[in-house]
Amino acid sequence: MYARLAEEYDALLGELAESTWRQGIVAELAGLSRGTGTRIADIGAGTGIGGRLMRELRPDFQIVGLDRAARMLERARGSYRRTVVADASEGLPFEDREFDVLVSGFDTLNYFDPAVLRVFLAEAARCLREFGLLIFDYSSPRLLREEWRDLEYEENHADGRVRWSHRYDASQDRCVSTVERYSEGGELKWREQHVQYALDAYSLAGLAEKQGLSVERVRNLDKPVYTPLANTHIWVMSRQRC
């Protein structure tokens, strides 16, 4: 996953990822009082789009970028003080209370099935200082179950085309997305598959509470209110008293 897409990630998805960060995590960080959060870890940092935007917002932020895809992270070095190749589903390679804020952008946490998400939330709580924040955007169940139930489209590029397909698999409550890259002559250059999950807000909030994180607020990506039918929500959780 993200081995072949890494080469073209910024060109294909960079604009959408950047606008999601600006409306979501970056807007939340901008509202923090100065000095609240300086030590930050970006989980699923990818090519470093979020790291670059957070540093533009606050050059004094000390940000670590973590991703399991080394080929994505190779492109992110300029965005972080330090990068770490690690699989977050196996735990976070950080000290207890090492960070003021953990962030995860452009639906990275949707890659975690409910069991992995539980482990991740417990690890996030462990790595945050008391009252530290976990801020992330998260695709809603409606996006996966309805919009992406059975969706296919193609994008034309100067050097060929990209075909996206999304299929919701009701038996496992997950969405399997396939991206295929074709050359100008129509030859398949590469194909990747991504599997995503989306818990409903009630389940996600309950899971977080059990791991020591309390939900401070949740809102639609583009509005200061929460509505269940939005495609993407922004979640802000805080580490409860240790």
Ligand X SMILES: C[S@@+](CC[C@H](N)C(=O)[O-])C[C@H]1O[C@@H](n2cnc3c(N)ncnc32)[C@H](O)[C@@H]1O
Among 24, 37, 46, 212, which residue interacts with ligand X (rule: CB under 6 A)?
46
Q: Please, what is the minimum distance in Å from the beta carbon of residue 9 to ligand X? A: 7
200, HSE (Cβ side, Cα atoms, 13 Å) = 7
Does residue 107 bind ligand X (CB under 6 A)? yes
- Tell me which stretch binds ligand X (CB under 6 A): 107-115, 128-136, 176-184, 217-225: 107-115
Interface with ligand X (CB under 6 A), residue from 44, 132, 141, 212: 44
Contact positions with ligand X (CB under 6 A) in 68-97:
68-69, 72, 87-89
CB 93 within 8 A of CB 124: no
Question: Does 111 engage in binding with ligand X (CB under 6 A)?
Answer: yes
**Which of 151, 240 has the CB closer to ligand X?**
151
| Using rule CB under 6 A, residue 105 touches ligand X | yes
108 contributes a contact to ligand X by CB under 6 A: yes
Q: Using the minimum distance from each CB to ligand X, give the nearer residue, 100 or 107.
A: 107
Tell which one of 40, 41, 49, 122 touches ligand X (CB under 6 A).
Answer: 49
> How far is it, in rounded angstroms, from Cα 42 to Cα 34?
19
43-51, 145-153, 209-217, 228-236 -> range binding ligand X (CB under 6 A)? 43-51
Q: Which residues bind ligand X (CB under 6 A)?
A: 2, 17, 44-46, 49-50, 67-69, 72, 87-89, 105-108, 111
